[in-house]
Amino acid sequence: MAHEATRVLLDESRIPNAWYNIVPDLPAPPPPPLHPGTREPIGPADLAPLFPAELIAQEVSGERFIEIPQSVRDVYRLWRPTPLIRARRLERALGTPARIYYKYEGGSPAGSHKPNTAVPQAYYNAREGVRRLTTETGAGQWGSALAFACAQYGLDCEVWMVRASYDQKPHRRSLMRVYGATLHASPSPVTEAGARILAADPASPGSLGIAISEAVEAAAGAEDTRYALGSVLNHVLMHQTVIGEEAIEQLAEFGETPDLIVGCTGGGSNFAGLAFPFLRGKLAGGTGPEVRAVEPAACPSFTRGRYAYDFGDTAGLTPLLKMHTLGHDFVPDPIHAGGLRYHGMAPLLSHMYVLGMFQAVTRSQSECFEAGVRFARTEGIVPAPEPTHALAETIAEAERCRETGEEKVILTALCGHGHFDLAAYDRHLAGEMEDYTLPQERIEASLAGLP
């Protein structure tokens, strides 16, 4: 249901009453997804085997605001509103005149921002009579979030988890099983896509692209089953705008407006969720913050990928999406920020990047863990490996401010905690963290496989 507000209001629990859809405010709409066979723009019927009607409608919606159903707000209330915290101890340790604020999403049941979209996705599927959701997960954060959301609405949840993470992160598996999900290590023998890859390479470590192929195949082949994606799509980015809407109100209580917003980008959803509401005023002709995306040096979609139509998965089952991509066959090096190891980027963000609406930079794995440790020792929260990318950039910016004396207000998304990633922190502390350099030839080789 759409409504005619010009801004999002917080309800009596201080939770936003609507999600913000940035698409109608853009100077030009993003290029449409294409059917892989006909190369024509896809229609709702093409997506119906995968998604419920309401989410398809949201994916292509031209409404600026979409009301958040009461049932979803009731679940959000378990952990929302999330805190906005000024990092005074980090500022002091850095000796910076910059003021650093972080919006902390790690207090959700799954420990990240992912339940912000998992809950509405489960809700709309359940309302339309779906019985089972399939999905992929890399590091396990999205799988945990969807398993939790499915438990809220009585849906079965089946998760294909990238083999490398499945082996490295047994406790993420346990969490998903506690919430009632069924798990497969991907590639798995239970799908054609997985069996084909296993036949070629029985020791395949898997990738997000492979796991997506398996989950999509399982959903498309069953009447009562749909598929859920944790990032990349327009409706996912929109659901995450609750982060930015709350942050606008909370920063106003501090009497502040941000000069710079920094976020990490895997598929782009936590970054978009924080930044889009702040860009609304800028798009309406006013002023607004500078915005900066941070991606891993080992998986640099914005900074070294190509803006082209590509598949969202490895087997080529998804529609073609116009996005910054390293190629759907690209298998990133095994960095610990599993949530950032995706070959593509949200088409909506890719479009906005080309329009010059934000910048993108990369950070290496070891400087990110260094930033994570520094943050933990000052602010107390151990960040997930993904948001340490945003923290590394935030710290570098605050250090630049120390040189120039600039009192910049920096806002960053601390989109998850790192309690399931302590083995990676151990490696960092033992000096065993590897930095991978990504040779240009590897990118060229993988881009040669673009459709």
Size of the site for ligand PLP (CB under 6 A): 20
For position 125 contacting ligand PLP by CB under 6 A, the verdict is no
Binding string, 372-401, against ligand PLP, x = CB under 6 A?
A: ------------x-xx--------------
Pick 275 or 384: Cβ nearer ligand PLP: 384
For position 416 contacting ligand PLP by CB under 6 A, the verdict is yes
Show the tokens assigned to 260.
Answer: 């710079």
Pick 331 or 390: Cβ nearer ligand PLP: 390
Residue of 85, 5, 2 lying closest to 277 (CA atoms)? 5
* Alpha-carbon torsion (245, 249, 250, 252), positive or negative: positive
Which string of b and e fits 421-450 if b means at least 16 CB within 10 Å?
beebbeebeeeebeeeebeeebbeebbeee
Q: Measured in whole angstroms, how far is the alpha carbon of residue 127 from the centre of its chain?
A: 25
The dihedrals phi and psi of 405, each to the nearest 5 degrees, come to 80, 10
**CA trace torsion 382, 385, 387, 389 (10° rounding):** 120
Q: Which H or E element spans position 255?
A: none
Candidate segments 258-266, 324-332, 402-410, 422-430, binder of ligand PLP by CB under 6 A: 258-266
Q: Which residues contact 357 (CB under 8 A, 6 or more apart)?
A: 279, 291
Candidate segments 263-271, 360-368, 369-377, 421-429, binder of ligand PLP by CB under 6 A: 263-271
For position 415 contacting ligand PLP by CB under 6 A, the verdict is yes
Candidate segments 5-13, 245-253, 261-269, 308-316, binder of ligand PLP by CB under 6 A: 261-269
Give the Cα separation of 375 and 379 in Å (integer).
Answer: 6
Pick 33 or 344: Cβ nearer ligand PLP: 344
Pick 259 or 386: Cβ nearer ligand PLP: 386
Pick 5 or 78: Cβ nearer ligand PLP: 78
Pick 251 or 340: Cβ nearer ligand PLP: 340
Residue of 51, 102, 123, 142 that binds ligand PLP (CB under 6 A): 142
The dihedrals phi and psi of 169, each to the nearest 5 degrees, come to -125, 65
Question: How far apart are CB 88 and ligand PLP at their closest, in Å?
Answer: 23
Candidate segments 60-68, 259-267, 392-400, 441-449, binder of ligand PLP by CB under 6 A: 259-267
Pick 65 or 302: Cβ nearer ligand PLP: 302
How far, CA to CA in Å, does 388 sit from each of 88, 252, 264, 297, 381?
18, 26, 8, 13, 11
Q: Which residue is nearest to ligand PLP (CB)?
A: 416
For position 141 contacting ligand PLP by CB under 6 A, the verdict is yes
For position 269 contacting ligand PLP by CB under 6 A, the verdict is yes
Give the Cα separation of 397 and 390 in Å (integer).
Answer: 11
Q: What angle do CA 292, 362, 236 make, to 5 degrees?
A: 55
Residue of 116, 152, 213, 231 that binds ligand PLP (CB under 6 A): 231
Burial of 12 (0-12, 13-18, 19+ CB in 10 A): exposed
Residue of 268, 277, 327, 347 that binds ligand PLP (CB under 6 A): 268
Q: What is the 3-state secondary structure (H, E, C) of 126-187?
A: HHCCCCEEEEEECCCHHHHHHHHHHHHHCCEEEEEEEHHHHHHCHHHHHHHHHCCCEEEEEC
Residue of 339, 344, 347, 372 that binds ligand PLP (CB under 6 A): 339
Give the Cα separation of 211 and 160 in Å (integer).
Answer: 6
Question: How far apart are CB 159 and ligand PLP at their closest, in Å?
Answer: 14
For position 265 contacting ligand PLP by CB under 6 A, the verdict is yes
Of 79-118, binders to ligand PLP (CB under 6 A) are: 112, 114
Residues near ligand PLP (CB under 6 A): 112, 114, 141-142, 231, 264-271, 339-340, 384, 386-387, 415-416
